[in-house]
């Protein structure tokens, strides 16, 4: 997240770019150069639209031509069939794009990663054939000899430059706003670790849909203006693979996930390709494709995230690393310890919970009653189903039998972010950090679910960091933390929305003796503050010291529950951990 | 006694006179020799590069012929020059090429191109606004339906082609076999040209010709498998098959599938439309026996009276035979030359007027096209006969109109 000053700097830069383009349009006398300038601006807008979804959230789309083409056809058909002027049709394209995006997003966001990208590829391809079948192989925008301006037909090509520039400036401002809002943080969190974002209370589906709809609206609007400039619309020219590829390549080249990347990419690659095509197209056929290919290869080798990030890295390395000034932490918000309930009510109740993965019964008839306030341990050998149990409680998995109740209300069927909203926090067996964000930003993501506004979120985050005694590392990038610091950061993130129940998955794993004491202290403090803690652990030794109650899981079944001293001596527990042979040895030794 | 002395003055005078004498032809030459430029925009790279190159070959041959014969006579023997731009493989590139050409060459008097109908549409959006007269062999409906004043289409419209092709093919069949076909099968792709061609047929054209379509299959290129199409043909048994494919690989698939189903080699008469049906490339991938007898209607094809020209073209370019592209490249250049001669000035508006007023039946331009070179107010040619060509022994030869054909037609039958 940027400071206000940084945001303003970008605003000034946008103004600067606009002024530069206007001057360029005035200086370039040739209609050809003005046409190329218009095309640079339009392709930049498409690439920025792609960036809004794919650059920020990491959900790569290979199908943005679908929106571009729908926009182009909306304007063309509007003018041909309804005599609708593009001045009206182009804003309408935004609605067309958003609706198309919603329709596409519903089924496609069930997929992730490569599958999502491939599925997105299908949409423009299918739409291309639909439009061919509909008989729209070649549409030309009718020439309006009278009242041309009313139909966005100008003899001076510079007006098109201005129109495209207007669209570019609007898109840049939209991108800037998104980048510096909760929207942008949510998308970044999704990009860096989607399950963590879900568990921290981010409604990932909603943010992804919003991003796609915004992206589709902008892309369709640009496509509409493109139709006005080109006059001829064919399915191949607006729904073709090359259109989607261009949106991607420009952003990847220029700097994916950045404000300026797409514009840099468009400003370099579009004139380069056109210039090469002009000079060498007939002598070296296909030169444009070759140039694009070489550009991609060079970028992958030399600047994998794009020109913009590379340049930024270079510039920031040159400056001496300023010492990380510890933030002035405000007074921590004290959590009043919750009084123990008069009747020992159970905060979490599982009855007969079971789940299978194919032929493997991972959990089988698990009954669990976690009393309110206190430390409850879940222990068991590898593969017992402990993390699966947490995933079921958390909402990542759906049990196929049994019920789960939290504070008296059923919990099944809720998505992880909804479970988080109910008041359950979660940490993971392998820490799920947002590696490129700072520690403070990592924790702020967890605060969104409970905070009224961004300022409150930041305050709550600072308080949580203070609670786990990690305030001095607030500005460090999460990717560079030690295991102990990562565990504490994850604890803080789960803590910040004041949960009533914390699910800690092997929080003590990987810690040395000194680190262990620190974390144990934090966990005990949570219990003292009234939060119920359910903790999974491997090692008997640590657990026996820490918890009030115990459950032992083996092969998906609960084989013992109760106070630590009793459980440790339970025969079946010893068998599960040490084996029958040792049971005999113990008995012989006891004699 | 007077004697000539080499005074300074006389030397100076002498030098001045010599200089003047030397300069004279230079001055008059500069006044005489200028060049007049025309343009060609066509795909020279990408999937349609070959077509663009053939157009270029024809145009360059015409330029050479014109300049060798003395250039543009009404402009004092000015040389004719061709400027070329590559339309590439997309409508965006075609438009950029046209815009670039116009920006670089403000003195163009006219031009032709861009082979593919959607490219022609893009290019002419630019040339119309620049008031540059433009000739084209493309014929999709949109080209002359826009109310443009500077577009001149030398190919007959799709409507006209469809209206001419079917009845003539039936006449041919009747003359050759004594029977008039009653049923027809149609296999086509859904690109612009076949769609424009088939629409009037479905809208009553077939009925008017007394034909019943028993197979009507439209596919989206590229064709993955011709089996379902040909199976329908085999079970419906039409009297002849109308084949409207635009891509050669699709044509190959259909022909080979017909052969597989024992419907080729004369069993089922085939009628196509469009110059790609006579391309030499077909012979490289399809057996000449499968092509034998394939009849196709085309806007322009080498005719009688052009033998000399055909030979010169073949020798100059090494092509196995002349096709529509080379012929139109040559013909369009000659039309522009004729317009220049009539206009008497290297000004595009005057050239456009000259083309509109044109009615050529003789001369090198008229010899390149069947029918008179005369355009209506939409830019379409009036009363243009369709040419039919047929593959005979591995060469597609014109077989109709009978008085100008290079070969006699036959109707394949078993």
- Which of A36, A132, A138 lies at the smallest CB-CB distance from B117? A138
Task: Tell me the C-alpha to C-alpha distance, in Å, between residue A536 and each of A307, A511, A513.
Answer: 45, 15, 18
Centre a 10 Å sphere on the Cβ of residue A300 and count the other Cβ atoms it contains. Answer: 12
Distance CA B82, CA B116 (A): 20
Q: Is residue B261 part of a domain?
A: yes
CB contacts of A30 in chain B (<8 Å) are 103
- Which of A137, A231, A237 lies at the smallest CB-CB distance from B125? A231
Distance CA A230, CA A554 (A): 68
Whole-number pLDDT of residue A315: 85
Distance from CA of A237 to the nearest CA of B (A): 7
Whole-number pLDDT of residue A525: 87
Least confident of A532-541, B288-297, B315-324, B377-386: A532-541
pLDDT digits (tens, 9 = 90+) for B122-131: 999 999 999 9
Whole-number pLDDT of residue A379: 85
What are the tokens at B142? 């949109």
Q: Is residue B372 part of a domain?
A: no
Contact A461, A446 (CB under 8 A): yes
Q: Is residue B226 part of a domain?
A: yes
For residues B205-214, give the mean pLDDT: 92
How sure is the predictor about A374, in pLDDT bands with cuts at 50, 70 and 90?
A: confident
What are the tokens at A190? 């999704």
- Which of A132, A138, A282 lies at the smallest CB-CB distance from B86? A282
Instruction: Tell if the CB–CB gap between B96 and A32 is shorter than 8 Å.
Output: yes
A-facing residues of B in 47-86 (CB < 8 A) are 49, 84, 86
Whole-number pLDDT of residue A318: 59
Reply yes or no on whether the pLDDT at A182 is more than 60.
yes
Instruction: Tell if the CB–CB gap between B84 and A282 is shorter than 8 Å.
Output: yes
pLDDT digits (tens, 9 = 90+) for A195-246: 999 999 899 999 999 999 999 999 999 999 999 999 999 999 999 998 999 9
Q: Is residue B17 part of a domain?
A: no
Q: Of B369, B332, B335, nearest to B355 (Cα)?
A: B335
Q: Is residue B121 part of a domain?
A: yes
* Domain A4-240: which CATH number of 3.40.50.620, 1.10.3470.10, 1.10.357.10, 3.20.20.140: 1.10.3470.10
φ, ψ for residue A82, nearest 5 deg: -115, 5
Reply yes or no on whether the pLDDT at A562 is more than 70.
yes
In this prediction the pTM is 0.84
Q: Which of A160-164, A537-541, B24-28, B368-372 has the highest mean pLDDT?
A: A160-164
Q: What percent of chain A clears pLDDT 90, i.e. is strictly above it?
A: 52
Whole-number pLDDT of residue A206: 94
Q: What percent of chain B clears pLDDT 70, i.e. is strictly above it?
A: 92
Identify the H or E element spanning A372: none
Burial (Cβ within 10 Å: 0-12, 13-18, ≥19) of residue B261: middle
Instruction: Tell if the CB–CB gap between B88 and A35 is shorter than 8 Å.
Output: no
**DSSP annotation of B62:** H
Whole-number pLDDT of residue B7: 58
Whole-number pLDDT of residue A191: 93
The verdict on B394 and B245 lying in the same domain is: yes
Task: Tell me the C-alpha to C-alpha distance, in Å, between residue A233 and each of A98, A224, A239, A591, B299.
Answer: 21, 10, 10, 93, 26
Q: Of B114, B106, B117, B109, nearest to B140 (Cα)?
A: B117
pLDDT digits (tens, 9 = 90+) for A88-132: 999 999 999 999 999 999 999 999 888 999 999 999 999 999 998
pLDDT digits (tens, 9 = 90+) for A346-360: 888 999 999 999 888
How sure is the predictor about A555, in pLDDT bands with cuts at 50, 70 and 90?
A: confident
Contact B366, B372 (CB under 8 A): yes
Reply yes or no on whether the pLDDT at B26 is more than 50.
no
pLDDT digits (tens, 9 = 90+) for B254-298: 999 999 999 888 889 999 998 888 989 888 888 888 899 999 999
The verdict on B151 and B55 lying in the same domain is: yes
Distance CA B36, CA B28 (A): 18
Distance from CA of A378 to the nearest CA of B (A): 59
Whole-number pLDDT of residue A304: 86
* Domain A346-590: which CATH number of 3.30.750.200, 3.40.50.2300, 3.40.50.360, 3.40.50.300: 3.40.50.300
Reply yes or no on whether the pLDDT at A329 is more than 70.
no
pLDDT digits (tens, 9 = 90+) for B40-50: 999 988 888 88
The verdict on B265 and B394 lying in the same domain is: yes
How sure is the predictor about A190, in pLDDT bands with cuts at 50, 70 and 90?
A: very high
CB-based contact (8 Å) between B98 and chain A? no
The ipTM assigned to this model is 0.82
Whole-number pLDDT of residue A3: 75
Least confident of A548-552, A562-566, B45-49, B90-94: A562-566
Q: Is residue B1 part of a domain?
A: no
pLDDT digits (tens, 9 = 90+) for A457-492: 889 999 999 888 888 888 888 888 988 899 999 999
For residues A248-266, give the mean pLDDT: 93
The verdict on B152 and B163 lying in the same domain is: no
Reply yes or no on whether the pLDDT at B97 is more than 50.
yes
The verdict on B192 and B265 lying in the same domain is: yes
Task: Tell me how many domains chain B contains.
Answer: 2
Contact A256, A162 (CB under 8 A): no
Reply yes or no on whether the pLDDT at A141 is more than 70.
yes
Reply yes or no on whether the pLDDT at A546 is more than 60.
yes
How sure is the predictor about A325, in pLDDT bands with cuts at 50, 70 and 90?
A: very low
Whole-number pLDDT of residue B9: 61
- Whichever domain contains B243, its CATH number is 3.40.50.2300
The verdict on B206 and B327 lying in the same domain is: no
CB contacts of A133 in chain B (<8 Å) are 190, 220
* Alpha-carbon dihedral angle through residues B169, B172, B177, B180, given to the nearest 10 degrees: 50
Distance from CA of B54 to the nearest CA of A (A): 13
The verdict on B280 and B334 lying in the same domain is: no
The verdict on B55 and B110 lying in the same domain is: yes
pLDDT digits (tens, 9 = 90+) for A492-526: 999 898 899 999 998 888 787 778 778 888 888 88
Structural domain range at position B143:
35-156+303-367
The verdict on B142 and B178 lying in the same domain is: no
pLDDT digits (tens, 9 = 90+) for B182-200: 999 999 998 878 888 898 8
Q: Coil, strand or helix: which one is A475?
A: coil
How sure is the predictor about A70, in pLDDT bands with cuts at 50, 70 and 90?
A: very high
Q: What percent of chain A clears pLDDT 70, i.e. is strictly above it?
A: 92
Reply yes or no on whether the pLDDT at A331 is more than 60.
no
Buried b (16+ CB within 10 A) or exposed e, B317-355: bebebbbbbbbbbbbbbbbbbbbbebbeebebebbbebb
The verdict on B359 and B392 lying in the same domain is: no
* CATH 1.10.3470.10 residue ranges for chain A: 4-240
CB contacts of B90 in chain A (<8 Å) are 236-237, 240, 242
CB-based contact (8 Å) between B95 and chain A? yes
Whole-number pLDDT of residue A340: 33
The verdict on B209 and B358 lying in the same domain is: no
The verdict on B223 and B268 lying in the same domain is: yes
pLDDT digits (tens, 9 = 90+) for B125-150: 999 999 999 999 998 888 999 999 99
Whole-number pLDDT of residue A327: 46
CB-based contact (8 Å) between A222 and chain B? no
* CATH 3.40.50.300 residue ranges for chain A: 346-590
Whole-number pLDDT of residue A320: 46
Distance CA B87, CA A281 (A): 9
A-facing residues of B in 134-163 (CB < 8 A) are 140, 142, 146-148
């Amino acid at each position: 997240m940027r400071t206000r000053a940084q945001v303003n700097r970008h605003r000034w830069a946008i103004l600067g770019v606009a002024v530069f383009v206007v001057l360029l349009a005035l200086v370039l006398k040739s209609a050809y150069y003005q046409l190329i300038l218009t095309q640079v601006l339009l392709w930049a807008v498409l690439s920025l639209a792609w960036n809004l979804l794919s650059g920020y959230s990491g959900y790569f789309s290979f199908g943005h031509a679908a929106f571009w083409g729908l926009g182009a056809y909306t304007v063309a058909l509007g003018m041909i069939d309804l005599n609708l002027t593009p001045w009206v049709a182009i804003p309408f394209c935004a609605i067309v794009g958003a609706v198309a995006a919603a329709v596409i997003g519903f089924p496609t966001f069930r997929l992730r990663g490569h599958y999502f990208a491939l599925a997105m590829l299908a949409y423009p391809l299918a739409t291309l054939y639909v439009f061919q079948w509909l008989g729209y192989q070649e549409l030309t925008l009718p020439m309006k000899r009278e009242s041309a301006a009313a139909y966005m037909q100008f003899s001076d090509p510079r007006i098109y430059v201005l129109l495209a520039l207007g669209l570019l400036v609007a898109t840049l401002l939209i991108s800037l706003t998104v980048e510096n809002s909760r929207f942008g943080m949510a998308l970044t969190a999704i990009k860096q670790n989607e399950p963590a974002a879900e568990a921290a209370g981010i409604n990932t589906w909603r943010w992804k849909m919003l991003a796609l709809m915004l992206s589709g609206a902008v892309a369709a609007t640009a496509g509409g203006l493109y139709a006005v400039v080109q006059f001829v619309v064919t399915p191949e020219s607006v729904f073709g693979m090359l259109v989607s590829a261009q949106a991607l390549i420009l952003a990847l080249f220029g700097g994916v996930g950045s404000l300026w990347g797409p514009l840099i990419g468009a400003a370099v690659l579009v004139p380069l390709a056109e210039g090469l095509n002009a000079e060498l197209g007939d002598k070296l056929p296909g030169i444009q494709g070759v140039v694009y290919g070489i550009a991609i290869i060079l970028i992958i080798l030399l600047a994998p995230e794009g020109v913009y990030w590379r340049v930024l890295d270079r510039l920031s390395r040159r400056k001496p690393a300023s010492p990380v000034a510890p933030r002035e932490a405000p007074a921590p918000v004290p959590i009043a310890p919750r009084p123990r309930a008069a009747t020992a009510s159970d905060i979490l109740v599982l009855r007969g919970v079971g789940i299978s993965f194919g032929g493997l019964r991972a959990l089988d008839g698990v009954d669990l009653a976690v009393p309110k306030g206190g430390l409850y341990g879940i222990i068991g050998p590898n593969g017992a189903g402990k993390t699966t149990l947490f995933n079921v409680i958390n909402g990542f998995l759906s049990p196929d039998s049994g019920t789960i109740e939290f504070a008296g209300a059923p919990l099944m069927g809720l998505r992880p972010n909804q479970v988080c909203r109910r008041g359950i926090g979660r940490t993971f067996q392998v820490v799920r950090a947002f590696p490129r964000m700072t520690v403070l930003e990592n924790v702020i993501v967890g605060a969104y679910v409970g905070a009224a506004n961004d300022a409150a979120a930041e305050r709550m985050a600072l308080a949580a960091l203070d609670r786990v005694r990690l305030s001095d590392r607030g500005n460090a990038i999460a990717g560079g933390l030690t295991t102990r610091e990562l565990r504490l950061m994850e604890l803080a993130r789960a803590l910040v929305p004041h949960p009533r129940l914390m699910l800690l998955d092997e929080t003590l794993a990987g810690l040395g003796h000194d680190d262990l004491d620190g974390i144990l202290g934090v966990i005990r403090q949570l219990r003292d503050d009234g939060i119920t803690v359910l903790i999974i652990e491997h090692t008997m030794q640590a657990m026996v010291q820490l918890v009030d109650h115990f459950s032992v899981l083996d092969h998906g079944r609960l084989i013992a529950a109760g106070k630590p001293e009793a459980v440790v001596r339970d025969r079946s527990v010893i068998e599960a951990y040490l084996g029958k042979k040792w049971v005999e040895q113990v008995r012989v030794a006891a004699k | 006694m007077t004697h000539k002395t080499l005074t300074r003055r006389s030397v100076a005078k002498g030098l001045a006179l010599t200089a003047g004498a030397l300069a004279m032809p230079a001055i008059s030459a500069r006044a005489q020799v200028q060049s007049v430029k025309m343009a060609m925009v066509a795909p020279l790279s990408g999937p349609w590069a070959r077509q663009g190159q053939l157009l270029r070959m024809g145009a360059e041959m015409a330029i050479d012929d014109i300049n060798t014969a003395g250039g543009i006579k009404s402009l004092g023997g000015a040389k004719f020059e061709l400027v070329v731009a590559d339309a590439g493989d997309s409508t965006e590139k075609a438009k950029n090429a046209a815009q670039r050409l116009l920006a670089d060459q403000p003195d163009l008097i006219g031009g032709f191109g861009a082979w593919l109908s959607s490219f022609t549409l893009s290019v002419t959006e630019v040339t119309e606004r620049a008031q540059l007269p433009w000739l084209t062999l493309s014929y999709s409906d949109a080209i002359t339906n826009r109310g443009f004043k500077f577009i001149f289409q030398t190919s007959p419209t799709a409507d006209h082609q469809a209206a001419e092709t079917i009845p003539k093919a039936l006449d041919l069949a009747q003359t050759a076999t004594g029977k008039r076909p009653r049923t027809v099968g149609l296999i086509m792709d859904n690109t612009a040209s076949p769609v424009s061609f088939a629409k009037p047929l479905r809208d009553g054209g077939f009925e008017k010709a007394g034909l019943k379509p028993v197979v009507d299959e439209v596919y989206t290129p590229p064709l993955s498998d011709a089996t379902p199409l040909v199976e329908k043909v085999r079970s419906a048994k039409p009297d002849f098959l109308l084949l409207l494919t635009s891509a050669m690989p699709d044509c190959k698939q259909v022909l080979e599938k017909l052969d597989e189903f024992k419907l080729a080699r004369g069993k089922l008469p085939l009628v196509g439309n469009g110059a790609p049906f006579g391309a030499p490339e077909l012979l490289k991938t399809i057996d000449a026996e499968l092509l034998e007898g394939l009849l196709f209607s085309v806007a322009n094809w080498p005719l009688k009276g052009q033998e000399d020209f055909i030979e010169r073209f073949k020798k100059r370019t090494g092509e196995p035979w002349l096709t529509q592209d080379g012929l139109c490249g040559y013909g369009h250049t000659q039309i522009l030359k004729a317009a220049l001669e009539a206009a008497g000035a290297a000004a595009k508006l005057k050239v456009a007027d000259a083309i509109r007023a044109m009615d050529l039946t003789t001369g090198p331009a008229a010899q390149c096209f069947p029918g008179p070179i005369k355009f209506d107010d939409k830019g379409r040619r009036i009363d243009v006969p369709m040419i039919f060509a047929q593959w005979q022994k591995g060469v597609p030869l014109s077989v109709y109109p009978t008085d100008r054909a290079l070969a006699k037609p036959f109707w394949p039958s078993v």
